[in-house]
Structure 1
Amino acid sequence: MSISIVVDHVSFAWPDGTTVLDGLDAAFPAGRTGLIGLNGSGKSTLLRVIARELTPASGSVSVRGVVGYLPQNLPLAAGRSVSDLLEIGRVRAALHAIEAGDVAEENFAAVGDDWDVEERARAELDRLGLRHVGLDRTVGTLSGGETVMVSLAARLLKRPDVLLLDEPTNNLDLDARRRLYDAVSAWQGVLLVVSHDRALLELVDQIAELREGSVRMYGGNLTSYEEQAEAEQQAAERSVRTAEGEIRRRRRELVDSAIRIDRGQRYGRKAFENKKVPKMVAGALKRKAQVSAGKQRALHAERLEEANERLSEAEQAVRDDAEIRIELPGTEVPAGRTVLTLPLEPRSAPAESPDDGPDDGPDDGSGAGPAVGRVAVLETLVVRGPERIALLGPNGSGKTTLLKRIVAHGAHVPLRYLPQRLDLLDDRLSVVDNVRAMAPSASVNEVRARLARFLFRGDRAGQAVGTLSGGERFRATLAALLSAEPPPQLLLLDEPTNNLDLASVRQLAQALSAYRGALIVASHDLPFLEELGITRRLRQDRDEGLAES
């Protein structure tokens, strides 16, 4: 298998001195590779180094061919056109000028060999399910998912040899995800993708895990990796138990040896005291016994030290992915209490066709199943008690808009909103200072204790938010929201799993199980919603409004 990307002893640190990569060596083969690892392990940074967006402090990267890179957080300019996002705006303008009779040399230079650029762009957008998106449409009118797919089309238009994707399914509804899966399956070049999307990771040829500063390759897809990792985990745990048993045995041997030596010394003293041996002989025996005892103690101590080293090595091989813990009694909402009443824009649902059966309606990509399964369009959104509501719907249907309307309208209880772009915190301030800004009455020690439950311990709590990874930033934002004064009894989450690694998604679901307030979660991550214990599903539609599902 040929190697397409070589990372040779690469180190990188942020300007504040935070080290992300330290002498990293890695080699990525041809084919599709899924890059996984805990949040903060350096996955996104590594992609940016490979894409030459970041320059390493030391080491080098070599890549065979042209690189196309789709970042996790796309730089957006709402006034730009889709053509600009596709990076064909200048060529289109020149083409249109030539068609209008302007034969200036600079127009022909701008077009070059791209006379069919509009047709190719249109074909790429259509293939990715964006037939409805015009080339002159402004970026500000696109949903987050549509923006991601247009940006992917831009990369594919350049026909790269190597494609780097950082969490490409963020913000995508189920239908868009399926089209992206198809594009990945059909990709013939080299692909390196950072993702927590299980379905996407099932399509790769190998998994690369970035853990504790090194990359390890596993053949096969995510399922194969998990089987191998579980086998390694079990072997590591057995090694720990064996090492612990050896330490207990070595300690007993050390104690037994000390007892034997003490008995021998007491016997020698008694023999001398009872005149059984001459003083000179007794002295020689004593010196010999002391030398022997010293050697025995040193030998047993050395064996115990070796056993401790083997235990330390065995413990390092055991995976210990800490869990987020939430203890917030102040967020509890009594059953039946009305926490939100929001009047909705009056809309009427179209009549169902008499030919539509109960199970044969098309899946709209919202995760809500066939459209004919909806009960009724809502005129007022009422949330009572500690409900857990899933807000479903395709990209561009208005889920984020609805959440923002709830924030603007207000609720009957304290509420907090976690947006997709995680822009609530001040990048210049530390995690501690950001939390204190939302909880001014809490002491520094109280804030640090809370942050420890969100896995920010020691120096990590003092790190500037601007240097955090996407998943770390999410944890910091969630910690700030849930520590806010007063404690939120209604929590609005917009695609909360977007920037989280596989372990963190599981941890977040476990953590939110301890939250006793009401939840409204907009998400396309169906396994995550199932883990949350959703009690009610609502579907947002572009034309019909909000409906029970």
Structure 2
Amino acid sequence: MSTFLTVNDLAFAWPDGTPVFDGLEFVASDGHTALVGDNGAGKSTLLRLVVGELTPSRGSITVEGHLEYLPQELPLRLDDRVDGLLGIAKQREALRAIESGDASEANFAVVGEDWDLEERARAHLDRLGLSTLDLDRTVGSLSGGESMLVGLAGRLLRQPKVLVLDEPTNNLDIDARASLYRAVDEFGGTLLIISHDRQLLERVGAVAELRGGRIRTFEGNYSSYEEAIAVEQEAAQRMVRVAKADMNKQKQELIETQVKLARRKRYAQKMWDNTREPRAVMKLRKRSAQVSAGKLKIDKQTDLADAKDRLDEAEDRLRDDAEIRVDLPETEVPAGRDVLSARGLGFGDIIRDVDLLVRGPERIAITGPNGAGKTTLLRLIAGQLGPDAGIMKLTVPAHYLPQRLEILKPELSVFDNVRRFAPEADDTLIRTRLARFLFRTTKVHQVVSTLSGGERLRAALAAVLSAEPAPQLLMLDEPTNNLDMTSVRQLRQALSGYRGALIVVSHDTAFLDAIGVTRRLRVERGRGVVETP
């Protein structure tokens, strides 16, 4: 039987009455489908409805076959074991009891037909690059990426016909991503993915775009989807140009009509004043002329209103392609100037004997496996941690943007958060800076806790780049995690206008290439090796 997922006439609103969907329709058949859309469009909400975590107010969701769901954040307890994260702890315990001579009916009931469960679990772990992982190891000793891969192995172990993944490559290093890509390629059922990972999105067979509470499905991978949207937007822009020209024409014709009618009125008044015909005849002619003039004016006003409607309809088809444009001369670093020098840098057993020299507006990527010490190295450079070995010299103002954006106070507005970094700046300057990051009018007063992931990143960037003094070294830790593709594009735009030195921790190779990384420092087991891109 073919496996598929069907969403029919789906409606859902939050408890406060805020609507999310009303009449949503969607079908995902056999194959791999990416669900894309801007932050806040409702992608994760739709997944939670599909897997039963939320209940729709109307409509139906039909799933043919067993469904498994891998969320962005796994519900973990540090003292749980790997076999528990795989979902096989009880079966392993029953197997051990049977092997020890406890042939109770309860143990056999737990095992069922899964006598080879442990071997199959290890096979899935092997395919995901975790062949040496002990099933009795605690979850607290795993990196975030390892936990995600174990979670995926557990879902695959249950042989789902429908698999739903929400940002599965977040926190995965390059090797782990390669293992996940292989698992995705090998999965033969219906796969629905939310991701900002370009390499993962290129592996799907269809892209479902959630926009304005509606879903449209495009055949092909993400590049094919972008091409289709580009063709649509080019046509929409032509429609807007034609509609604007028509509206301007209708405006001009209305003006000409009003001038013509005014001349007629003056002429008619003159004839009224000078004519010798009977008053009754003149009144009849005047009334007839007024009716004719009124009809002509109404017709022209109707033509203008219709033209305005056509323009509005054409503009509705245009997407908001707002761009971040950052031009901050005060962040500029002259070529060749020493920005950062570190020699023999160490911190406990996490970072050992790292050498790094940054000159001018260099762009350096820090890469390496999960748990290698990349974030610790950034915190050492930022001064949040004190090294216990080696020397480090930072010669320019610097700012560090952590992965969870803790620099923002969630209870304050965007404006007030930026004010914390630039207490001497006047309100007009802050508003000007925020406008560059697409926060305009009332948006500047929105509380940070209500912002989407992409909006929070823009607010954090606006804050650090508005700081006094302006940062000439900017450090970013996994900045593309949890961002939609529009927000990733806007982040690239912001960094393209930044004139200082840049150090970025990221596993997103497409993003690193796009922002012009010139060198890479690969960290493994706490040691760093400088590589070319």
Question: What TM bracket, shorter-length normalisation?
Answer: 0.7 to 0.9
| Residues 452-473 of structure 1: per-residue CA shift (max 9 Å, x gap) | 4333445655555445443333
Counterpart for residue 350 of structure 1: none
What one-letter code is carried by the residue in structure 2 that aligns with 1:384?
Answer: R
For the residues of structure 2 that align with 1:102 and 1:10, how far apart are their CA atoms? 52
For the residues of structure 1 that align with 2:318 and 2:198, how far apart are their CA atoms? 23
Counterpart for residue 12 of structure 2: 11
Is the CA contact (8 Å cut-off) linking 1:454 and 1:479 kept in structure 2?
Answer: yes
1:394 to 362, 369, 383: 369
For the residues of structure 1 that align with 2:69 and 2:374, how far apart are their CA atoms? 28
Q: From the superposition, tell whether residues 457 and 213 of structure 1 become closer, same or farther in structure 2 (CA, over 3 Å).
A: farther
For the residues of structure 2 that align with 1:289 and 1:36, how far apart are their CA atoms? 60
- Counterpart check, 1:44 vs 2:52: no
Counterpart for residue 119 of structure 2: 119
Q: From the superposition, tell whether residues 132 and 478 of structure 1 become closer, same or farther in structure 2 (CA, over 3 Å).
A: farther
Q: From the superposition, tell whether residues 73 and 467 of structure 1 become closer, same or farther in structure 2 (CA, over 3 Å).
A: farther
| Residues 358-407 of structure 1: per-residue CA shift (max 9 Å, x gap) | xxxxxxxxxxxxxxxxxxx9752222332211112234433223223323
Is the CA contact (8 Å cut-off) linking 2:11 and 2:20 kept in structure 1?
Answer: no
Is the CA contact (8 Å cut-off) linking 1:454 and 1:475 kept in structure 2?
Answer: yes
Alignment of 1:157-306 (within 5 A): 157-275=157-275, 277-306=277-306
- Counterpart check, 1:527 vs 2:510: yes
For the residues of structure 1 that align with 2:206 and 2:31, how far apart are their CA atoms? 8
1:488 to 455, 466, 471: 471
For the residues of structure 2 that align with 1:198 and 1:17, how far apart are their CA atoms? 35
* Residue range with higher mean Cα deviation, 231-240 or 536-545: 536-545
1:381 to 334, 356, 373: 356
For the residues of structure 2 that align with 1:16 and 1:436, how far apart are their CA atoms? 31
Is the CA contact (8 Å cut-off) linking 2:4 and 2:63 kept in structure 1?
Answer: no
| 1:298 Cα deviation after fit | 0.6
For the residues of structure 2 that align with 1:439 and 1:24, how far apart are their CA atoms? 45
Q: From the superposition, tell whether residues 333 and 68 of structure 1 become closer, same or farther in structure 2 (CA, over 3 Å).
A: same
| 1:147 Cα deviation after fit | 2.5
Q: From the superposition, tell whether residues 116 and 387 of structure 1 become closer, same or farther in structure 2 (CA, over 3 Å).
A: same
For the residues of structure 2 that align with 1:526 and 1:129, how far apart are their CA atoms? 20
For the residues of structure 2 that align with 1:469 and 1:73, how far apart are their CA atoms? 17
Alignment of 1:283-362 (within 5 A): 283-344=283-344
Q: From the superposition, tell whether residues 480 and 275 of structure 1 become closer, same or farther in structure 2 (CA, over 3 Å).
A: closer
Is the CA contact (8 Å cut-off) linking 1:378 and 1:547 kept in structure 2?
Answer: no
What one-letter code is carried by the residue in structure 2 that aligns with 1:234?
Answer: E
Q: From the superposition, tell whether residues 442 and 153 of structure 1 become closer, same or farther in structure 2 (CA, over 3 Å).
A: farther
3-state SS in 1 of match to 2:523? strand
Is the CA contact (8 Å cut-off) linking 2:4 and 2:190 kept in structure 1?
Answer: no
| 1:70 Cα deviation after fit | 1.5
| Residues 111-154 of structure 1: per-residue CA shift (max 9 Å, x gap) | 34333221111100111122232222333433333222222112
| 1:267 Cα deviation after fit | 3.0
Q: From the superposition, tell whether residues 472 and 102 of structure 1 become closer, same or farther in structure 2 (CA, over 3 Å).
A: farther
* Residue range with higher mean Cα deviation, 85-94 or 150-159: 85-94
Counterpart for residue 35 of structure 2: 35
| TM-score normalised by structure 1 residue count | 0.85
Gaps of 5+ in 2: 347-351, 387-391
Counterpart for residue 349 of structure 2: none
| Residues 470-508 of structure 1: per-residue CA shift (max 9 Å, x gap) | 333333333344344554332221221222222222211
| Residues 519-548 of structure 1: per-residue CA shift (max 9 Å, x gap) | 111222223222212232222223753334
Counterpart for residue 483 of structure 2: 500
Q: From the superposition, tell whether residues 255 and 206 of structure 1 become closer, same or farther in structure 2 (CA, over 3 Å).
A: same
For the residues of structure 1 that align with 2:380 and 2:101, how far apart are their CA atoms? 49
Alignment of 1:49-68 (within 5 A): 49-56=49-56, 58-68=58-68
3-state SS in 2 of match to 1:34? strand
Counterpart for residue 456 of structure 2: 473
| 1:209 Cα deviation after fit | 0.6
* Residue range with higher mean Cα deviation, 187-196 or 525-534: 525-534
What one-letter code is carried by the residue in structure 2 that aligns with 1:313?
Answer: E
Alignment of 1:32-111 (within 5 A): 32-56=32-56, 58-103=58-103, 106-111=106-111
Counterpart for residue 389 of structure 2: none
Q: From the superposition, tell whether residues 106 and 442 of structure 1 become closer, same or farther in structure 2 (CA, over 3 Å).
A: farther
Q: From the superposition, tell whether residues 461 and 422 of structure 1 become closer, same or farther in structure 2 (CA, over 3 Å).
A: same
For the residues of structure 2 that align with 1:505 and 1:110, how far apart are their CA atoms? 47
Q: From the superposition, tell whether residues 71 and 111 of structure 1 become closer, same or farther in structure 2 (CA, over 3 Å).
A: same
> Aligned pair count?
519
For the residues of structure 2 that align with 1:112 and 1:465, how far apart are their CA atoms? 51
For the residues of structure 2 that align with 1:177 and 1:504, how far apart are their CA atoms? 21
| Residues 421-453 of structure 1: per-residue CA shift (max 9 Å, x gap) | 445545555545554555555677765654443
Is the CA contact (8 Å cut-off) linking 1:8 and 1:61 kept in structure 2?
Answer: no
| Residues 272-313 of structure 1: per-residue CA shift (max 9 Å, x gap) | 444364443322211111111011111110111011001000
Is the CA contact (8 Å cut-off) linking 1:33 and 1:206 kept in structure 2?
Answer: yes
Q: From the superposition, tell whether residues 328 and 101 of structure 1 become closer, same or farther in structure 2 (CA, over 3 Å).
A: farther
Q: From the superposition, tell whether residues 135 and 41 of structure 1 become closer, same or farther in structure 2 (CA, over 3 Å).
A: same
For the residues of structure 2 that align with 1:402 and 1:196, how far apart are their CA atoms? 26
For the residues of structure 2 that align with 1:430 and 1:73, how far apart are their CA atoms? 27
| 1:345 Cα deviation after fit | 5.4
For the residues of structure 1 that align with 2:381 and 2:356, how far apart are their CA atoms? 10
| 1:69 Cα deviation after fit | 1.4
Is the CA contact (8 Å cut-off) linking 1:414 and 1:489 kept in structure 2?
Answer: yes
The alignment yields a C-alpha RMSD, in angstroms, of 3.1
Is the CA contact (8 Å cut-off) linking 2:203 and 2:221 kept in structure 1?
Answer: yes
For the residues of structure 1 that align with 2:397 and 2:110, how far apart are their CA atoms? 56
For the residues of structure 1 that align with 2:197 and 2:148, how far apart are their CA atoms? 15
| TM-score normalised by structure 2 residue count | 0.87
What one-letter code is carried by the residue in structure 2 that aligns with 1:196?
Answer: H
For the residues of structure 2 that align with 1:394 and 1:148, how far apart are their CA atoms? 14
For the residues of structure 2 that align with 1:379 and 1:33, how far apart are their CA atoms? 43
Q: From the superposition, tell whether residues 266 and 424 of structure 1 become closer, same or farther in structure 2 (CA, over 3 Å).
A: closer
What one-letter code is carried by the residue in structure 2 that aligns with 1:522?
Answer: V
3-state SS in 1 of match to 2:25? strand
What one-letter code is carried by the residue in structure 2 that aligns with 1:513?
Answer: S
For the residues of structure 2 that align with 1:96 and 1:448, how far apart are their CA atoms? 66
